[in-house]
Structure 1
Amino acid sequence: MKRPLKSGWLFWPALLVIFLAAQAWKDRGLVQGRAPPLGTRALDGAGFAWDDVAGRPAVLYFWATWCPICRAIRSNVEALAADYPVISVALQSGSDSVLRHYVRREGFTLPVFPDPEGTIAARFGLQGVPAIFIVDAGGTVRYAMTGYTSELGLRVRLWLAAHRA
């Protein structure tokens, strides 16, 4: 008769610690503090400054047309736009005309700021997409994450950003 391993209870906590450490390492270079300016115009010609959304938390979403995880997370991010300002930056996704065609074909509903050379991404310390920054009402980056994130996870972070002193 086999006895259950007494050390089996260590597996899940150890796995969680490894996962959290990997997440922290992966996101280590992302900007902290004051959110940098975008310094460009959206595809529709509109400009943007963090003062435009002052007084409430906002979401900055970096994505790319060639990124499958970005497609998977898009509905999570778009769902937030009913309640919060959401700005999107298309990283290295082709010319404005190619990007306009993609946005129209895919039914993209967020304002799109093109970043063909990765200039905006560099200001935010990005190494890959998708990436999401939660910026509080005062323009400070409160949360920065890369990879897949659930709508609930984003809503919790937005709530915390709104209620943090």
Structure 2
Amino acid sequence: MKQRLLGWGKQLAIFLLLAFIITAVVDVWRGKDFLKDNVPALVGTTLSGEMVDIAELSKNKAVVVYFWATWCPVCSFVSPAVDTLSAYYPVVTVALSSGEDLRVKKYLQHHEYSFDVISDENYDLGSDWKIKVTPTILIIKDGEIKWFTTGFTSLPGIWWRLMMS
């Protein structure tokens, strides 16, 4: 029994290492055209009426920036993790081309998400930031992008990136 558990542990460790490597390679490939220097400002008003300026908010602390959409199937798996993180870390989300503010508010209420949202109905911010994949998650600290990932990621994945910032 001990040998079997040891074998399973070894297989799990190999699987996790491979998953990490594959995720890193996919992030590099998807991010090849993504802005890394001279990033545009991310300033806006959330659906709750608060002004947000990522450069100011990220001074001396890491901030999660989550570009997502109500129509994105992968976002429905990532959004609960972002919502959980929003209770403990600064999180700013941008709903890309998701319709009018009222529609986005209803979506948030239906899913019981509490994170703040800037509605980018016309894809202005998405275009400025050259977002090509939803979801896209950035970790920004002191106005600089520290981590970038696209597609599916988990709560531990986002948390790990926050801790490394």
| TM-score (normalizing by structure 1) | 0.80
Q: Secondary structure at the match of 1:133?
A: strand
Report the count of equivalent residues: 149
Distance 1:84 1:14 in 2: 28
Q: 1:131 maps to what in 2?
A: 136
**Is it true that 1:144 corresponds to 2:151 in the alignment?**
no
Distance 1:77 1:149 in 2: 10
Return the match for 2:33 from 22, 29, 32.
29
**Structure 2 vs 1, CA of residues 122 and 55 (structure 1 numbering), >3 Å: closer, same or farther?**
same
Percent identity between matched residues is: 28
Shift of 1:123: 2.0
Return the match for 1:157 from 154, 157, 161.
161
Q: 1:52 maps to what in 2?
A: 57
Distance 1:18 1:37 in 2: 31
Q: Secondary structure at the match of 2:45?
A: coil
Q: 1:38 maps to what in 2?
A: 42
64-73 vs 50-59, greater mean Cα deviation: 50-59
Q: Secondary structure at the match of 1:89?
A: strand
Cα distance per residue 1:23-65 (max 9 Å; x no partner)? 3221212221355322321111111012134221000001111
**Structure 2 vs 1, CA of residues 26 and 44 (structure 1 numbering), >3 Å: closer, same or farther?**
same
Structure 1 unaligned residues grouped into runs of 5+? 1-11
The answer to whether the 8 Å contact 2:147/2:161 transfers is yes
Structure 2 unaligned residues grouped into runs of 5+? 1-14
Shift of 1:115: 0.6
Q: Specify the structure having the higher radius of gyration (Cα).
A: 1
2:31 counterpart letter in structure 1: D
2:157 counterpart letter in structure 1: G
1:106 counterpart letter in structure 2: H
1:31 counterpart letter in structure 2: L
Please tell me the root mean square deviation across aligned C-alpha atoms, in Å: 2.4
Return the match for 1:122 from 127, 130, 134.
127
**Structure 2 vs 1, CA of residues 115 and 17 (structure 1 numbering), >3 Å: closer, same or farther?**
same
| TM-score (normalizing by structure 2) | 0.80
* Runs of 4+ in structure 1 over 6 Å off: 12-19
Shift of 1:68: 1.2
The answer to whether the 8 Å contact 1:32/1:142 transfers is no
